[in-house]
Amino acid sequence: DTAVSQTPKYLVTQMGNDKSIKCEQNLGHDTMYWYKQDSKKFLKIMFSYNNKELIINETVPNRFSPKSPDKAHLNLHINSLELGDSAVYFCASSQSLGGGEKLFFGSGTQLSVL
Amino acid sequence: EDKVVQSPLSLVVHEGDTVTLNCSYEVTNFRSLLWYKQEKKAPTFLFMLTSSGIEKKSGRLSSILDKKELSSILNITATQTGDSAIYLCAVAASGTYKYIFGTGTRLKVLA
């Protein structure tokens, strides 16, 4: 069983469209994250949730809206997609907040905006 | 602002060589430092170092945390082509609830 799973793996879309990425973890973790990895492989935190509550919103444009229906799921909806949104988006989870736990990553969603 | 810097940015070696990758950080209230290996897709966990666990080893890989110098090294001995990957360092600070990643070191091991 995959611990952290994301769908879709690939997303190709036109500028201006709206798209969603889904993430689920079956590890029983309390905390989930969205990271964006650019073409230079730099991983930057976007959001973190703990028990469905938003903890970090790292100056991400408000076109990006995360939603956590329960602590096992964290989805990312993106409105009015722009060329600069092209990147790989990783979902991750950890047992709890606080920085003393390891992160488990999903396999990523490669988003290409044309 | 919290910062994590890795060096070198990239490295090409031959099989059998030993490599040392560096990670330095500036964070307030350091909690832990993590090393990850990223091949095609998801980063996979290698080590976590904290104040109570400053040295870790697994097979040919080992890592040390130097809290005085605010840095860590990742050593790989007798490198193999399968070690070719991007190695990522991340640091977590207490109370900030996030892991800050460095830019990574891209390692290529030639046969």
Cβ separation B92–A43 shorter than 8 A: no
- pLDDT for res A57: 81
Considering only CB atoms, which chain B residues are within 8 Å of A5? none
* pLDDT band, residue A39 (cuts 50/70/90): confident
Residue B92 has pLDDT above 70, yes or no: yes
Give me the residue label for tokens 């046969």.
B111
Closest CA in chain A for residue B105: A41
Give the mean pLDDT of A4-10.
96
Question: For residues B61 and B42, is the Cβ–Cβ distance under 8 A?
Answer: no
| Residues 6 or more apart in contact with residue A44 via CB below 8 angstroms | A35, A36, A37, A38, A58, B101
Q: Estimate the share of chain B in helix, then strand, then coil, as percent rounded to the nearest 5.
A: 5, 60, 35
Of A44, A98, A108, the CB nearest to B41: A108
- What DSSP assignment string belongs to B25-66? EE-SSEEEEEEEEESSSS-EEEEEEBTTB-EEEETTEEEEEE
> Are residues B90 and B101 in contact, defined by beta-carbon separation less than 8 angstroms?
yes
**H-helix segments, chain A:** none
Mean predicted confidence (pLDDT) in B84-106: 90
Band of residue A40 on the pLDDT scale cut at 50, 70, 90: confident
Least confident of A22-36, B16-30, B63-77, B95-109: B95-109
Quick one: which H or E segment has residue A111?
Answer: strand A109-113
Convert B4-16 into a string of H (helix), E (strand) and C (coil).
EEEECCEEEEECC
With contacts defined as CB-CB under 8 Å, which chain A residues touch B42?
Answer: 4, 90, 105-108
How wide is the angle at C-alpha A96 spanned by C-alphas A100 and B96, nearest 5°? 65
Contact B104 A33 (CB under 8 A): no
Name the pLDDT band for A96 (thresholds 50, 70, 90): confident
Q: Strand locations in A51-95, DSSP E?
A: 53-57, 64-70, 73-78, 87-94
Condensed to tens digits (0 to 9), the pLDDT of residues B43-73 reads: 999 999 998 878 999 999 999 999 888 999 9
> Residues A15-41: what's their mean pLDDT?
94
Contacts of B3 in chain A (CB under 8 A): none
Q: What is the mean pLDDT of residues A57-61?
A: 84
Confidence (pLDDT) at B95: 72
What is the Cα–Cα distance from B43 to A14, expressed in whole angstroms? 28
User: What confidence score (pLDDT) does residue A1 get?
Assistant: 64
